[in-house]
Structure 1
């Protein structure tokens, strides 16, 4: 006895299938928006709206107590006539230009050492990263203790080698170099990023280079640096943005608690002056204009870095010559 033939169910019309796909997409979109809604609400309330409102405040004379008084572009004009702006911007640019390359170089050297550490690399990764967990306020206080010109640990160590250390906290010429050195305290995160990039470089490239007679420096310049250049570029961009917004450590060390003992002008960074205008002098409109000028500066600097990266950063699978 033969089994009856199986009759396939008639296929749904194309119009019905398209309607079903649309309903499924709407359901997926609704579910996604539902899960994203806490972040979307938080972004709108705590980020988007303050940004938009700060644009308006930058065009007003606002002291928090009285209603904003619209003054147009007067705040931006005043920025170009304020000598403190030039001082703060100069301090910030000097700090950024010196600190970022030094930060990247130290991070890379430590990552290269960790890459050769073998089994102990995990322990040293933790050791290098722990200072990153130190609160910035504590780092600012630590700066005053370590770099005290009279009995600070840094000058004590220099004295062991017969070097008379400078007055890091009172000599205006040494305030920014001291802060730059202190900023290297937190290289741990960058070290871990670079270490991960180094460990992803194929060993076959080094083996081929050794067969061709390439030494350590040739391998580093021709293989290591190009292969990890995306990680280096990321660290450069992120730390440039952070350096242009330097605030916590310098403010704690030189401006906190009404401190007037040290060379404040040498440590007056742009964001510190912005903070003073906003919360000490209550010039909220002027401070908002300062914030948007800083935002524009960061955007320009980042855009330049991205343009330069197209020539110097190598990505795997890149077809450029």
Structure 2
């Protein structure tokens, strides 16, 4: 065998195997026919059927698109525009620039409302995540009555918040409430829990946990998606139930935990109904949450421009907080099932 055959061709010749340096200009193969003209200058045009499918798809999702434009995008833009004005809802808005935002930053009640909301969020959200996970673990038990247990554990979350607020007013009544009667068994005096600044927010935090059934169902769906083979392999290796929980359940539930965390933070930022019904922001502004103060400015004080500025600030803070959570989630959220 010759050297040229061994090396795949002599440079400079047109022998097979010659590289680009061989002086041979590669020629493009024959261009595929384009009878319907769907290809124009390297770009592909939609065929008639694809255009019809696109129109039908847009038609079917048009209610959602219209809803987003009318009930989300337009209110956001309008709120920002109104936040730059002095407007009571009755007269023509007067443009005042960023004065509403400057007033909000200097308003001591805004700081009080932000502090109360942050306190509520810092306790209610983590506590709700833990309680919902415990409920989901109970719902996931392989027992005959599991369907009944799931129903009973989920039922409290179906009670509207305004109805639950009235129920808790009776529960914590200092004279005949069941909570004070229970505490009396341990020698504790009757206490007006909603009338004490140090207890009022705690009552609302505890009441919020009755809605943990919604998050528990989402946790349950995540638990059912974890392959049983992972637990079987762990048991063969001698792992205890607690070790299985830490090494398999928690890592593979982190996407679900992230979802429930985002929804919990969003709900905590907008807490309003229970404070409005049970205490109306009292006592001593201890339950004056941000949304309640925003509502007062808009509908009690007639300061729609100032209330819109508060709403814009809440929206911006919520977006910032969500972005921060998603950024931090890169460190603990696991989407790889095999990593469990």
Deviation at 1:209, TM superposition (A): 1.8
Distance across 1 between alignment mates of 2:297 and 2:52: 49
Distance across 1 between alignment mates of 2:337 and 2:132: 26
Determine the structure 1 residue equivalent to 2:306: 286
Deviation at 1:317, TM superposition (A): 5.3
Of 222, 230, 235, the residue aligned with 1:197 is: 222
Deviation at 1:167, TM superposition (A): 2.6
- Gap regions ≥5 residues in structure 2: 1-31, 40-44
Residue deviations 1:231-264, cap 9 Å, x none?
1111111011100110112111122xxxx9x516
Give the root-mean-square deviation of aligned CA atoms. Answer: 2.2
Contact 2:116 2:287 in 1 (8 A): yes
Equivalent residues in 2 for 1:1-321, closer than 5 Å = 14-16=34-36, 18=38, 21-164=46-189, 166-255=191-280, 263=283, 265-316=285-336
Deviation at 1:318, TM superposition (A): 7.8
Contact 1:149 1:169 in 2 (8 A): no
Q: Per the alignment, in what secondary structure is the counterpart of residue 330 of structure 2? A: helix
Residue deviations 1:62-108, cap 9 Å, x none?
00111000000000000111110000000000000000000011111
Q: Which has the higher helix share?
A: 1
Distance across 1 between alignment mates of 2:338 and 2:76: 37
In the superposition, relative to structure 1, how do residues 307 and 42 fare at CA in structure 2: closer, same or farther (>3 Å)? closer
Distance across 2 between alignment mates of 1:281 and 1:129: 39
- Gap regions ≥5 residues in structure 1: 1-11
Contact 2:157 2:212 in 1 (8 A): yes
Contact 1:111 1:194 in 2 (8 A): yes
Q: Find the structure with the greater CA-based Rg.
A: 2
Normalised to the residue count of structure 1, the TM-score between the two structures is 0.88
Of 296-305 and 280-289, the range deviating more from structure 2: 296-305
Contact 2:175 2:190 in 1 (8 A): no
